[in-house]
Structure 1
Amino acid sequence: MDDDLSRLGLIDEDDIALDQAALALAALDHDDADLAHDERLLDDMAARLSIVGADAATPAAQADALAAVLGGEFDLAGDALTYDDPANADLISVLARRRGLPVSLSILWVAMARRLGWSAHVLDVPGHVLVVVGAEAQPVIVDPFARGARVDADRLAALVEAAGGGGRAVTHVAAMPNRAVLVRLLQNQASRAEQAGRGRRALELYRRMTVFAPSYPHAWWERARLEVVDEQLAEARSSLGAMLEITRDPALRERVSELLEALATE
């Protein structure tokens, strides 16, 4: 497992295939998974998209093709009924159930678009995740949770406001790097595990994040916090030390140093 995670951590950011990476992360929790079956399903999606979107020369046409194939033919949509089910953030389960969270579905939308050479990115929206299709020339924003429905400027502003934006401009919405998307996927699982009283499961998920995305300080902090809860003090000190190596934020460094000092007396 560590070898697979470490290899993912060594891949250049732009070379990460989101669907393959998310599938590999899900496989860590499925000893009997038939990844060949899931990979064939992904290939089938891409093949259908290449046919339906053969003449899609604009972002709008590409977004329509994605919605028709993924949201329509393959019935991929958000799980509004059991939103907090951990299966919604596990790509193997998402492919089996055809239901998922915004981030897991966005991974599929973006990955399929990129397989055809289209420009697509996962958008980090306060309280939600969307997909933007196209680059500078007339990009189109869609919501995979709603089967690829279009999201116009008014709808985007409403989402920001509903998440407690308090008048913040829509410019706070940003495309997410590939590793950040995968971290977001596992964070969803970790938060749900901890809410369910499964602290060690959450700890394992944060540990995975620090292996394949070691430059993300939040994962190190959460890992250290849960290690302290589990009385793994030496491990917590190591995690905080690693965090000090990667963060340059003075306030955060001071907070980590204070905690390290407190742990040194334990």
Structure 2
Amino acid sequence: MEDRVPAMNAAAETDVELVPALVDVARDEYPDLDVSGLLSQVRELALQAADRCSNIESTSQKVQTLNQFLFVECGFKGNHDEFYDPRNCYINEVMERRLGIPISLAVLQLECARACDLALEGVSFPGHFLVRVPMDGGLLVMDPFHRGRPMDVDELRQRARPHMGDRDIDDQQLLNLLSPASNRAIVARILRNLKGVYTEQEDFARALRCADRLIRFDASQAEDWRDRGLLYLQLGVGQRAGEDLARYLQLRPDAGDADAVREAMIDAAKSRVTRH
């Protein structure tokens, strides 16, 4: 199959506009953000990309031109030195610093591709976010973190293997992993990245902010209720911690960590008594 895999159906339409949703996320950290100015910057970037691709018919040439524009001419690149810097997740910082992680760079790649009439899609691949584009009856899969470098099937399997119990991955499993990500899924993954970074830094207030937005974004994900409950517990908000953890157990009564969550609920109840 060389560097392409069989094509799949496009992602379903969602009611979330990707860039405006990410600008809204950025306002949590940057309340004085110039929203209209930032949206104009992204729009101008996309229009410049469209201008570069305006006379190109070939999909492969459009891809090359887009990557050349974004990653060479404009200088966007992966932040290898400080991968876990939260600024890599905020679209205003990515635009200003020209640094990001795979998913935030992919967002700009997707926005520019849309202006170029290029059917680029995001892929919530295990580990690092990727992008894909239909080409010659198959898929060209690229890595935004490395200037849109194409990836072959063997590399994709190797990348996925540690996240799949270190098992061999057949073609169908790989195709499933390469399913296109909705805008909603992209925003949620960025929020989870931020939540993880802030939790690791023990910045529980910011982590809680991300967890809260995730639940408001999609209240059906049990793990988000658990995580928000544990963050409330870290911050000494016992009542809300207990409520969220109870909600998690309602959604996942047979969860593998159910016993640990019940112990956390006891701690939450103690916290409530102590604070009174």
TM-score scaled by length of structure 1? 0.82
Q: Which runs of 5+ in 1 are unaligned?
A: 1-11
Structure 2 partner of 1:121: 121
Which amino acid counterpart does residue 201 of structure 2 have in structure 1? A
Report the CA distance shift for 1:93/1:41 in structure 2 as closer, same or farther (over 3 A): same
Note if 1:208 corresponds to 2:208.
Answer: no
Counterpart mapping for 1:127-206 below 5 A: 127-134=127-134, 137-161=137-161, 166-169=166-169, 170-173=174-177, 174-206=179-211
C-alpha separation in 2, matches of 1:206 and 1:28: 12
Superimposed CA distance per residue, residues 30-59 of structure 1 (whole angstroms, 9 cap, x where no aligned partner)? 122222332222112211221222244454
Superimposed CA distance per residue, residues 101-128 of structure 1 (whole angstroms, 9 cap, x where no aligned partner)? 1111112212322344432222122211
Superimposed CA distance per residue, residues 54-92 of structure 1 (whole angstroms, 9 cap, x where no aligned partner)? 244454233223202211222111001111211111111
* Partner SS for 1:28: helix
C-alpha separation in 2, matches of 1:78 and 1:90: 14
Q: Which runs of 5+ in 2 are unaligned?
A: 1-11, 271-276
C-alpha separation in 1, matches of 2:157 and 2:260: 39
Count of aligned pairs: 253
C-alpha separation in 2, matches of 1:231 and 1:85: 26
Structure 2 partner of 1:259: 262
Superimposed CA distance per residue, residues 191-232 of structure 1 (whole angstroms, 9 cap, x where no aligned partner)? 111222212221121111111222222222110111122221
Counterpart mapping for 1:43-122 below 5 A: 43-122=43-122
Report the CA distance shift for 1:262/1:24 in structure 2 as closer, same or farther (over 3 A): closer
CA contact (8 A) 2:50 2:112 kept: no
* Partner SS for 1:95: helix
Q: Quick check: 167-176 or 201-210, which moved more?
A: 167-176
Q: CA RMSD in A?
A: 2.9
Report the CA distance shift for 1:201/1:143 in structure 2 as closer, same or farther (over 3 A): same
Q: Quick check: 256-265 or 150-159, which moved more?
A: 256-265
CA contact (8 A) 1:122 1:129 kept: yes
Report the CA distance shift for 1:193/1:257 in structure 2 as closer, same or farther (over 3 A): closer
Counterpart mapping for 1:209-228 below 5 A: 209-228=214-233
Which one has the largest radius of gyration?
2
State the Cα distance separating 1:239 from its structure 2 match: 2.2
Q: Quick check: 167-176 or 90-99, which moved more?
A: 167-176
C-alpha separation in 1, matches of 2:121 and 2:145: 15
Q: Quick check: 68-77 or 249-258, which moved more?
A: 249-258
* Partner SS for 1:128: coil
C-alpha separation in 2, matches of 1:71 and 1:261: 46
C-alpha separation in 1, matches of 2:53 and 2:237: 52
Structure 2 partner of 1:27: 27
C-alpha separation in 2, matches of 1:16 and 1:40: 19
Report the CA distance shift for 1:154/1:256 in structure 2 as closer, same or farther (over 3 A): same
Report the CA distance shift for 1:213/1:154 in structure 2 as closer, same or farther (over 3 A): same
